[in-house]
């Protein structure tokens, strides 16, 4: 695991309760990286500590377009057919 160093004065300026800083920063980083196409939905949701459906729901709330590939469509269709 890699750590990111954040200068103390920056941490002090973040208006989030100290106990929530790490969680919030991971969440914001996950959505920013996903939105820019830098990481996949799976990796972003893992970074955010959310289930796939929680992450997708939050994408909608934040009005972030989902990157939906043809492969994902095929997987979803296969899953839907097997669930009948």
pLDDT at site 10: 93
- Identify whether 1 is part of a domain: no
Q: Which residues contact 27 (CB under 8 A, 6 or more apart)?
A: 48, 49, 50
- Identify whether 23 is part of a domain: yes
Whole-structure pTM value:
0.78
- Identify whether 3 is part of a domain: no
- In the chain, how many domains are there? 1
Q: Give the range of the structural domain holding residue 14, as residue numbers without chain letter.
A: 8-82
**52-to-7, 10, 43, 46, 55 alpha-carbon distances in Å:** 32, 31, 10, 9, 5
> Is 37 within 8 Å of 30 (Cβ atoms)?
no
Q: What is the pLDDT along the chain (84 residues), one digit of tens a residue?
A: 889 999 999 999 999 999 999 999 999 999 999 999 999 999 999 999 999 999 999 999 999 999 888 887 888 888 888 876
- Identify whether 15 is part of a domain: yes
């Amino acid at each position: 695991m890699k750590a990111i160093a954040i200068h103390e004065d920056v941490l002090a300026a973040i208006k989030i309760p100290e106990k929530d800083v790490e969680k919030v920063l991971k969440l914001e980083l996950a959505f920013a990286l996903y939105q820019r196409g830098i990481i996949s939905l799976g990796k972003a949701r893992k970074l955010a500590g959310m289930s796939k459906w929680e992450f997708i729901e939050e994408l909608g709330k934040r009005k972030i377009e989902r990157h939906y590939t043809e492969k994902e469509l095929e997987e979803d269709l296969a899953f839907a057919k097997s669930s009948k």
